[in-house]
Amino acid sequence: MTVRGGSPLVRHILAVALVATLAGCARGVTSTPGEAPNLETWVAEVKARPAPPLDPLPVMQQFETFEYAAQALRDPFSTAFTDDGGGSGPRPDASRRKQVLEQFPLDSLDMVGTLGRGGGLVALVMAPDKVTYRVQPGAYMGQSDGRVTGVFDDRIELVELVPDGAGGWLERPATVALEDQ
């Protein structure tokens, strides 16, 4: 705090208050000669006390070992149930080249319109990448080998191939309806 242009009386009062404050602080720091031995005695007493006992260690349980001896049984991760032979029923064509709309899930594709008339109808489908594609019967779309069977003014009909859980495949009908705007 600075006092500019103040009276000499105010300056003298502030100087006396400062000296009194410093003298009070200094009095608490100094110790008398009799206090130090008491402190040393107390520290020696605390060091001489016995340490509290430690908790006993927990008892380790002995676990029973198990030996896996099922080498003669069927491997649950083998492909014993899959029918890789020439069985009957629908099957995805592994040699067929994938089309662009097969990288998107079927529910993420939106039909936005059609072009043409009658049997020459072509559907317009918007993919999640915001590109519109032309779709005709025989094209594939969706991630389950969905083959387009028909294009109509208000929908696209297709047949998907889904695994039946026993190594075979099932045909499942699906549709993509015209988006309401």
State how far the Cα of 32 lies from the Cα of 42, in Å rounded to an integer. 17
DSSP line for 40-109: HHHHHHHHHSPPPPPPPPPPPPPPPP-----TTSPPTTS-SS---SS-SS----TTSPPPGGGGS-GGG-
The pTM for the full model equals 0.51
- CATH tag, 100-177: 2.30.30.830
- Return the domain boundaries, the chain: 100-177
- pLDDT in single tens digits along all 181 residues of the chain: 554 556 888 888 988 888 888 777 655 554 555 567 788 899 999 999 998 889 999 998 888 888 888 878 877 777 655 545 555 678 888 888 999 999 999 999 999 999 987 778 899 999 999 999 999 999 999 999 999 999 998 999 999 998 888 878 899 999 999 877 5
| Terminal-to-terminal C-alpha distance of the chain | 75
Q: What angle do CA 123, 149, 92 make, to 5 degrees?
A: 115
